[in-house]
Amino acid sequence: MTSVAHDIFDFGTPGMAEVVLKLADDGVVIVAVSSTCDQPLRIAYVNDAYLRMTGFEREELNGQVPRGVAEGMVEPDVMARVAAQFARGEPFREELVVLRKDESTLWVDFSARPVKDVHGRLTHWVCVQRDITRHKTAMAELARHARDLEEMQSLAQIGSWRWEIGADGIDCSAETCAMAGMPRKESFVPFAVLAGVTDPKDFRTIKSTLQKTAALGKSETFEYPIRTLGAGTRIIWARTYPELDSN
**Contact of 130 with 136, CB cutoff 8 Å:** no
- Residue 2: predicted pLDDT: 37
Report if pTM > 0.95.
no
- Determine the Cα–Cα distance for residues 195 and 38; give it in Å rounded to an integer: 70
- Residue 161: predicted pLDDT: 76
- Residue 114: predicted pLDDT: 94
Going residue by residue through the chain (247 aa), what tens digit of pLDDT does each one get?
Answer: 333 443 555 545 546 566 667 767 899 999 998 866 555 788 999 999 999 999 999 999 988 888 777 767 888 888 899 989 988 999 999 999 998 999 898 999 999 999 998 888 899 999 999 999 999 888 888 888 777 766 665 555 567 777 877 788 888 887 777 776 666 666 787 888 778 888 888 888 888 888 888 888 888 888 888 887 666 787 877 888 887 665 5
Return the bridge partners of 162, or none: 171
Q: Which residues touch 189 (CB under 8 Å, ≥6 apart)?
A: 161, 169, 170, 171, 172, 180, 182
| Maximum Cα interatomic distance, the chain, rounded to a whole number of Å | 80
- Determine the Cα–Cα distance for residues 133 and 150; give it in Å rounded to an integer: 26
Query: Residue 197, Cβ neighbours under 10 Å: how many?
Result: 18
Please list the alpha-helical segments (H only) found in 89-199: 133-156, 174-180, 191-196
Residue 238 C-beta-side C-alpha neighbours within 13 Å: 24
**Contact of 131 with 107, CB cutoff 8 Å:** yes
